[in-house]
Amino acid sequence: MYRTVTCGELRLADAGKIVTLAGWVQRIRKMGGMTFIDLRDRYGITQLAFNQGTEAFEKANGLGREFVLQVVGQVIERQAKNPQLPTGEIEIDVKQLTILNPAVTPPFTIEDETDGGDDLRMKYRYLDLRRQCVRKNLELRHKMAFEVRRYLDEQGFLEVETPVLVNSTPEGARDFVVPSRMNPGLFYALPQSPQTLKQLLMVSGFDRYFQIVKCFRDEDLRADRQPEFTQIDCEMSFVEQEDILNMFEGMSRHLFKTILNIDLPKLPRMTWADAMKYYGSDKPDTRFDMTFVELHDIFHAAEANKAEEERFSVFANAAYIGGICAKGCATYTRKQLDALTEFVKRPQIGAKGMVYARVEENGNVKSSVDKFYSQDVLQQIAAEMKAESGDLILILSGDDAMKTRKQLSELRLEMGKQLGLRDPKKFSCLWVIDFPMYEWSDEENRLMAMHHPFTSPKPEDIPLLDTDPASVRANAYDMVINGVEVGGGSIRIHDAQLQEKIFEILGFTKEEAQTKFGFLMNAFKYGAPPHGGLAYGLDRFVSLFAGLDSIRDCIAFPKNNQGRDVMLGAPGVLDPIQLDELMLDIRKK
């Protein structure tokens, strides 16, 4: 037997026992006649003690970090106890030491506070994963996936695997493709999600499906995006939106309770239109208020009474003027305000400038646009914003209401951060509902499906499909936690004709729709039940529970910002023979 106990389980009550342990050398301390080694495995750390004069002591002095050892010894009470460590009251008086494998010195320290930078840790990810703080994220991930399965199984869901080699389907992102050797010139695509397949499973009568499944999207990467990521993908038959929201609110409640011991209150619901109006975002961070107040009416009325040359042209011409009120921030210095202005002017945000106003002790409002507006107007603004003495009002304006709202949203989040209102240990969850069916794409010069082309319009909005498709709302919903979209889905179209019409509005010709989605529309002709579903991003869900900034830390082997796995050297070049076999002659270029 390699071991009788793990490095995490011995306590004072075990004193006197003879045990065998195996693990890695975390640290060696030599103190005169004694040598101490911290031995580590997945379960914890146990201190080994070696006494001068023993054979084991001699051997111990020749060890280095990360050697793999097996020791036999007696559990004894420690003299200097370590209350930080669950095993901190005992140590092992080692009688026998076997080196199972030596190790070269690792390129960074295997400690929570490591000296290794990102790149180095990614190159040696297997060593990085030895660090407790990284490993515990993967333990959390396992537990969450396990509880998801437990909950869904109890609700009668079946986990069904769908293929990874599929066909390209337009769902917003670029596909990763795989050349087919047996079908020269033809390509598989890796699924962006099993969307159409899970809908076919509903046609097959599976009724309640789920799958914890890898999905692939060839997009530009960010902290919360990886080219391959994991979804908790779900679909149900004979349901309305309400049934889905309840079922999956239940799943989230189960996860919060079993994993974090938090009782999740009933989730509030916010329409997409309100989310945009009050937070400038379809995934509002509702851990704090600071909601938008629209100010164009007051400013435009003030401008209307003025002579041309006295106007503040920025506001006079703006289609949208909105503000947020930062409680107690009237003390912000000029320097802090300039920094905020710089923040909103960064190209990623794109505002032209920022106007501010402080409500002073005596109730007077002092603003950066004092010369254009009377105290009376500024008081109206303060009243509209419910700003009180000591508060700071920040205002953005622009020609495009949606764009300006998004800029103001960034400013709101930044203020939330500066004021410590975005505590990762606090959770605020909600459903955002009633998304628009379509959004206009400047790039493609056409309407695009906001969720995906299989999403059902709200029945009462169906007549608008012919007259004003841009205003049609969808039976689509997202679950948002702390400003992160953790899940989203919709009630689907199950009627072949309506589906055809939607493809038409999206600009597909009949033939294109037939080639790409003929299989689905055909299936619908054979008795498709009403159905709907959603998918959660498991990586995002786990990183929220872990309080992480990036989803990378809860993925065992993530890719970097260039989509590369620096450890595997992927993506890599192919051998010319392989290229020939695949009929891919990239050398021609």
According to CB under 6 A, which one of 489, 545, 554, 555 is a site residue for ligand ASP? 489
Binding-site string for ligand ASP from residue 425 to residue 454, where x marks contact by CB under 6 A and - marks none: ------------------------------
Nearer to ligand ASP, 322 or 489 (CB): 489
Binding-site string for ligand ASP from residue 195 to residue 214, where x marks contact by CB under 6 A and - marks none: x-------------------
Footprint of ligand ASP on 158-197 (CB under 6 A): 193, 195
E strand spans, 466-530: 476-481, 484-491
- Dist CA 350 CA 410 (whole Å): 10
* 486 touches ligand ASP by CB under 6 A: no
Number of H-type helices and E-type strands within the chain = 17, 22
According to CB under 6 A, which one of 140, 533, 540, 552 is a site residue for ligand ASP? 533
Tell me which stretch binds ligand ASP (CB under 6 A): 55-63, 153-161, 396-404, 528-536. Answer: 528-536
Cα distances (Å, whole numbers) of residue 433 to 289, 423, 430, 467, 534: 19, 25, 10, 23, 13
Compute the least distance from the CB of residue 267 to ligand ASP, in Å.
18
Angle at 540 (CA atoms; ends 539, 545), nearest 5 degrees? 100
Q: Which residue has the tokens 């309407």?
A: 447
Tell me which stretch binds ligand ASP (CB under 6 A): 82-90, 239-247, 388-396, 486-494. Answer: 486-494
* 456 touches ligand ASP by CB under 6 A: no
260 three-class SS:
helix
Compute the least distance from the CB of residue 513 to ligand ASP, in Å.
19
Pairing relationship of beta strands 269-271 and 429-433 according to DSSP bridges: parallel
Compute the least distance from the CB of residue 548 to ligand ASP, in Å.
22
What are the residues facing 22 on neighbouring strands? Answer: 70
Nearer to ligand ASP, 25 or 493 (CB): 493
Footprint of ligand ASP on 242-281 (CB under 6 A): none
- Dist CA 239 CA 242 (whole Å): 8
Q: Which residue has the tokens 């437990």?
A: 150
- Dist CA 212 CA 508 (whole Å): 31
According to CB under 6 A, which one of 534, 538, 546, 551 is a site residue for ligand ASP? 534
- Dist CA 521 CA 169 (whole Å): 14
Contacts of 468 (CB under 8 A, 6+ apart): none
Compute the least distance from the CB of residue 534 to ligand ASP, in Å.
5
Q: Which residue has the tokens 């923040």?
A: 343
Pair of tokens at residue 363: 């109730």
According to CB under 6 A, which one of 202, 298, 535, 546 is a site residue for ligand ASP? 535
Q: What is the largest CA-CA distance in the chain?
A: 98
* 490 touches ligand ASP by CB under 6 A: yes
Compute the least distance from the CB of residue 174 to ligand ASP, in Å.
15
Residue nearest to ligand ASP (CB): 193
Tell me the Cα Rg of the chain.
30
* Spatial contact of 96 and 539, defined as CB atoms under 8 Å apart: no
* Spatial contact of 435 and 474, defined as CB atoms under 8 Å apart: yes
Tell me which stretch binds ligand ASP (CB under 6 A): 124-132, 391-399, 407-415, 483-491. Answer: 483-491
Nearer to ligand ASP, 513 or 534 (CB): 534
According to CB under 6 A, which one of 191, 322, 457, 488 is a site residue for ligand ASP? 488
Nearer to ligand ASP, 433 or 535 (CB): 535
Pairing relationship of beta strands 44-51 and 90-101 according to DSSP bridges: parallel
**Contacting residues toward ligand ASP, per CB under 6 A:** 193, 195, 488-490, 533-535
